[in-house]
Amino acid sequence: MLVPGLSSPPSGKPDQVWTKFPILTCLNQPDMNIPQLKTHFAQGKVLFNMLLSSGDPFFAEITGRSGFPSVMIDMQHGLQHADRLLPILQALPDSVIPLVRIPWNDPAAAMKALDAGAAGVVCPMINNATEAQAFVQACHYPPKGIRSFGPIRAQYLGQQPDYFASARDHFLTAVMIETAQALEDIDAIAALEGLDMLYAGPFDLSVSLQRPQRANFQDPVLIAALERILEAARAAGKYTAVFTVNEADARRAIDMGFNMVSYGTDTGLFAKTVQHAIQQLQGFIAQP
């Protein structure tokens, strides 16, 4: 995470503030396409991911060059709309896997994200297998789905000579399990052909389960729900993901066995960094 470190003033120079700013360079991590990502998961490796909520291509570029191998452009709660999707995708380095969370279970939104070059589409607030099936069909071309052919940007990405023939190998489909209803139908959802990943949303899930605290990774009821998602996914041969907002929860998610762990948002981490900086600066002011 890009957090400027503020060191204490050197001895004998109390009025001098020394700052250490990291140089922003791409970490030169190897490009990872979806087939390679599946191999990555099969080897038991974890993919780290950050949500992009600001709607700003520059924030996206900074995040992509700061070491995160994957991002999720959040069009559900984030500030970006359809007209910002393309600039954000274009700002990301080729080494970063770009996922898109669409606003709702809307076929047009899923198709638009894939045509623009998303490597994966995440659908929020799925309640049952019927809803999940509708989303999956929107992502796949006939005869397995209803996606309309028109990969306006996606056809120019990667090395595939025939996008239509190879499209299935170059994107992921994920549904968010974040309601009590979805938990009740979890096995049927996980069994769907053409669905790759179950993505646990602990905030809405804890609200739906009427827990006293949101996304509390110490809550045994929430942990049991997350374990149930993992169990269903493993039985069906699907990947798993979960959203976290702090290091302790991310570590817990890794230990539980999630394939992908999302950590915070660009706006949230920016706010934390600003708060940390001003607290450090204020610490240099002598108290009366």
Domains and CATH numbers, the chain: 40-276 (3.20.20.60)
SS3 216: coil
Residue 214 scores a pLDDT above 60: yes
Residue 89 scores a pLDDT above 90: yes
Mean pLDDT on 157-166:
85
What gap in Å lies between CA 87 and CA 58, rounded to an integer?
Answer: 9
Q: Which of 40, 77, 81, 170 is catalytic?
A: 77
Strand duo 260-265 + 97-101: pairing = unpaired
What gap in Å lies between CA 52 and CA 55, rounded to an integer?
Answer: 7
pLDDT digits (tens, 9 = 90+) for 110-141: 999 999 999 999 999 999 999 999 999 999 99
In contact, 192 and 136? CB cutoff 8 Å: yes
Contacts of 158 (CB under 8 A, 6+ apart): 33, 170
What gap in Å lies between CA 111 and CA 145, rounded to an integer?
Answer: 11
Environment class of 193 (CB within 10 Å of its CB; exposed 0-12, middle 13-18, buried 19+) = exposed
What gap in Å lies between CA 260 and CA 34, rounded to an integer?
Answer: 13
Looking at per-residue confidence, does 224 or 81 come out higher?
224
Answer yes or no: 77 catalytic. yes
